Amino acid sequence: MLTGLMMHAPLQISALIQHAERWHGDTEIVSRRTEGDIHRYTWRDAHRRTRLLANALKRLGCQAGDRIGTLAWNGYRHLEIYFATSGSELVCHTINPRLFPEQIAYIVNHAQDQYLFFDITFLPLLEALAPQLGGVKAFVAMTDRDHLPDSSLPRLLCYETLLEAEDDQFEWPSFDENTASSLCYTSGTTGNPKGVLYSHRSTLLHSLAIALPDALDLSARDCVLPVVPMFHVNAWGIPYAAPMTGCKLVFPGPKLDGASLTELFEQEGVTVTAGVPTVWLALLQHWKQTDYRPSTLNRVVIGGAAPPESMVRSFVQDYGCHVLHAWGMSEMSPVGTVYAPKFKHKDATQEQLLPLQLKQGRPVFGVDMRIIDANNTPLPHDGVAFGDLQVRGPWICSQYYERERGAEHSDDGWFSTGDVATIDSDGYMQITDRSKDVIKSGGEWISSIALENIMMSHPAVAEAAAIGIRHPKWDERPILVIVRKNGQSLSREEALAWFEGKIAKWWMPNDIVFLDELPHTATGKVQKLKLRERFHDYVLPDA
Binding site for ligand AMP (CB under 6 A): 186-187, 233, 303-306, 325, 327, 329-330, 334, 360, 417-419, 431, 434, 523
288, 342, 436, 440: the catalytic one is 440
Instruction: Indicate the SS3 state at residue 502.
Output: coil
Q: 372: part of which helix (H) or strand (E)?
A: strand 368-372
Beta-carbon contacts of residue 425 (< 8 Å; ≥ 6 apart): 381, 382, 383
Cα(328)–Cα(326) distance, integer angstroms: 7
Instruction: Indicate the SS3 state at residue 1.
Output: coil
Query: What is the three-state SS of 244-299?
Result: HHCCEEEECECCCCHHHHHHHHHHHCCCEEEECHHHHHHHHHHHHHHCCCCCCCCE
Find the shortest distance in angstroms from Cβ 525 to ligand AMP.
6
Cα(369)–Cα(219) distance, integer angstroms: 27
| 331 given a catalytic annotation | yes
Ramachandran bin of 83, using left for φ above 0, alpha for ψ from -120 to 50, beta for the remaining angles? alpha
> CB of 113 within 8 A of CB of 203?
no
Instruction: Indicate the SS3 state at residue 376.
Output: coil
Residue 149: count other Cβ atoms within 10 Å of its Cβ. 10
Diameter over CA atoms, the chain? 74
Find the shortest distance in angstroms from Cβ 472 to ligand AMP.
30
Nearer to ligand AMP, 325 or 484 (CB): 325
Cα(79)–Cα(13) distance, integer angstroms: 12
Find the shortest distance in angstroms from Cβ 330 to ligand AMP.
4
CA 386 to mean position of chain CA atoms: 24
Nearer to ligand AMP, 277 or 478 (CB): 277
Cα(170)–Cα(84) distance, integer angstroms: 10
Q: Give the chain's end-to-end CA distance (angstroms, integer).
A: 69
Cα(308)–Cα(456) distance, integer angstroms: 6
> CB of 333 within 8 A of CB of 237?
yes
Nearer to ligand AMP, 246 or 387 (CB): 387
Nearer to ligand AMP, 10 or 383 (CB): 383
DSSP structure class, residue 3:
-
| 186 given a catalytic annotation | yes
| 377 given a catalytic annotation | no
Nearer to ligand AMP, 192 or 491 (CB): 192
| 445 given a catalytic annotation | yes
Sign of CA dihedral 215, 221, 227, 233: positive
Find the shortest distance in angstroms from Cβ 519 to ligand AMP.
16
Tell me whether the omega of the peptide bond preceding residue 334 falls within 30 degrees of 0, making it cis: yes
Nearer to ligand AMP, 97 or 303 (CB): 303
Find the shortest distance in angstroms from Cβ 194 to ligand AMP.
10
Nearer to ligand AMP, 522 or 543 (CB): 522
Find the shortest distance in angstroms from Cβ 361 to ligand AMP.
8
Cα(195)–Cα(374) distance, integer angstroms: 27
Find the shortest distance in angstroms from Cβ 116 to ligand AMP.
22
Q: Report the candidate in 312, 246, 317 with the shortest Cα–Cα distance to residue 27.
A: 246
Cα(327)–Cα(474) distance, integer angstroms: 32
Find the shortest distance in angstroms from Cβ 328 to ligand AMP.
6
Torsion angles phi and psi, residue 487, rounded to 5: 75, 5
Find the shortest distance in angstroms from Cβ 198 to ligand AMP.
13
186, 271, 422, 432: the catalytic one is 186
331, 452, 463, 476: the catalytic one is 331
Find the shortest distance in angstroms from Cβ 305 to ligand AMP.
5
DSSP structure class, residue 500:
T
Nearer to ligand AMP, 141 or 279 (CB): 279
Burial 176-189 (b: 16+ CB within 10 A, else e): ebebbbbbbbbbee
Nearer to ligand AMP, 275 or 304 (CB): 304
Beta-carbon contacts of residue 521 (< 8 Å; ≥ 6 apart): 187, 189, 527
189, 266, 445, 502: the catalytic one is 445
Cα(46)–Cα(492) distance, integer angstroms: 55
Nearer to ligand AMP, 383 or 418 (CB): 418
Residues forming the active site: 186, 331, 440, 445
